Structures are given as structure tokens and as C-alpha cells.
Amino acid sequence: MSESPDELVQLTAEEARVLGCLLEKEATTPDVYPLTLNSLITACNQKTNRFPVVDYDEETVAEAIEGLRAKKLAFRMDVAGSRVPKYRHHVDETLGLAKAGKALLTVLLLRGAQTPGELRTRTERMHIFPDPEAVEKELDFLAEDMDPALWRRMPPAPGQKEARYKHLLCGDVEPEAPISAGLASEPAVASVQARNQRIETLENKVAELEGELDELKAAFEQFRQQFD
């Protein structure tokens, strides 16, 4: 792994979303990567695999790209045969992350704070972790190895037992106060956990199908632009 930067870059929420999209599409749809501005807008505004869901316009995404270029996290490419410029991320050289680390950072940028179990499921198309423990081991290893760290460990969310991790590229985050044990009975907590697990399983199946549809749409748009 390359040497980490002396100071961690600070991104806006829009820059974090664009960077996450560049990382994601490089791994999941390499045939249409690097991305045009229109492809980036589509990726940013996906209804699946995103939290929060946003509705960025062309100006917002263009400003975010320029911000990332100024911070040496993205650059423009003029591809032969293409009438429009395309954009790539520069994370490999700037942050020095390998495949596993990039997969984790991608999902953290696109979906906020998550547990190791959630991260394992949501990074499957970019990197395979055998179990949540392997995810946590990688997160903790990179947190110790990189100075400054790219993410930090957070307390469990309501109804969850696992700690969560959140990226620090948009600034540090204050630990959230844990819920008092007296606020909910054990049966209620167990019921919430079971419901959340069922919902997450269904969401993951729907997200996978809708993600494939979004990528097909992006690939078709990329193909269509060649004839504009």
C-alpha cells in the first residue's frame, strides 16, 4: 500500500458522492469507465445502493468534479473517439488503497455509517470478504496503518449489536450516545433486529436487480452518445 497523505482531504457531501460513484463504476462496470458527466449524474442520483438518495443537477456534479480535481482525487481524460470528456478517480495514487480498502471506502462514501455485516454484503461485487469478522479486521488494520485514518468506529445503532464504521473524508464525526438499556426490553430489541434483518435481505435482492438495471441504462447511454 502506498504512503497515506500527511493531511486527510476534506470533501463536501457532493464530492464524496461523486468520488464514491467513480470508485463503484470502475469496479462494477469497467466497460463504461471512465465516466462522462451525464453518466456521473445518473450514478449519483441512483435510487438504489445510495443513502441518502439525492437529485443532483449538472451544475452540482460538475462543481463536485472540479473540487475533486483540485484535491487530486479525480482527473479529466479526453478519450480518442469520444466527443465529451470523461473522468477517473485518483484514489490509488492519493490514498494508496488496495482492492479491499477501496471497496470498503466506496460503500462508506455511498451509504454512510454501516456495520461490518452490512459492508460485507454491500461490497460483494467489488471484493469478497468471507465473513463480517474479515471486514472488521480489514477496517481496523487500515485504520491503524493509515495516518490520518479514513474512517472510525461508531457505537451500534438502535436495535443493532454490531458497531458501525463511518468514513472521515467529510470531516470527523462525534460518537453517538448509546441507547439506555432501560429504553427497550430484550424481546422488543430482538423483534426489531429480526425485522431489520428481513428488510435488509429483501433490500439487498432488490438493490442487486435494480443496480444491474441502472448499469445497463448507463451502458446504453454511453453507447448512444457515440452516435450523437
Residue 180 has pLDDT above 50, yes or no: no
In a domain, 154, yes or no: yes
In a domain, 109, yes or no: yes
Question: The CATH number of the domain where 161 resides is what?
Answer: 1.10.10.10
Rounded percentage of the chain residues whose pLDDT exceeds 70 = 81
In a domain, 16, yes or no: no
In a domain, 199, yes or no: no
Structural domain count of the chain: 1
pTM, two decimal places: 0.75
Q: Which residue has the higher pLDDT, 197 or 10?
A: 10
In the chain, the N- to C-terminal Cα span, in Å, equals 41
Q: What is the pLDDT of residue 2?
A: 45
Residue 192 has pLDDT above 70, yes or no: no
Q: What is the pLDDT of residue 174?
A: 52
In a domain, 23, yes or no: no
Q: Which residue has the higher pLDDT, 106 or 147?
A: 106
Q: Which residue has the higher pLDDT, 225 or 16?
A: 16
Sign, Cα dihedral of 52, 53, 55, 59: positive
| pLDDT tens for each residue of 152-173 | 999 998 888 889 999 999 997 5
Give the 3-state secondary structure of residue 8. coil
Q: What is the pLDDT of residue 219?
A: 76
Half-sphere exposure of 9 toward its Cβ, with a 13 Å CA cutoff? 20
**Band of residue 27 on the pLDDT scale cut at 50, 70, 90:** very high
When computed from its CA atoms, the radius of gyration of the chain, rounded to whole angstroms, is 18
Average pLDDT, the chain: 85
In a domain, 153, yes or no: yes
In a domain, 49, yes or no: no
Q: What is the pLDDT of residue 228?
A: 65
Residue 142 has pLDDT above 50, yes or no: yes
In a domain, 53, yes or no: no
Residue 175 has pLDDT above 60, yes or no: no
**Band of residue 196 on the pLDDT scale cut at 50, 70, 90:** low
Q: Are 152 and 168 in contact (CB under 8 A)?
A: yes
Preceding amide of 158 cis, omega within 30: no
Domain residues for 111? Answer: 101-183
Residue 189 has pLDDT above 80, yes or no: no
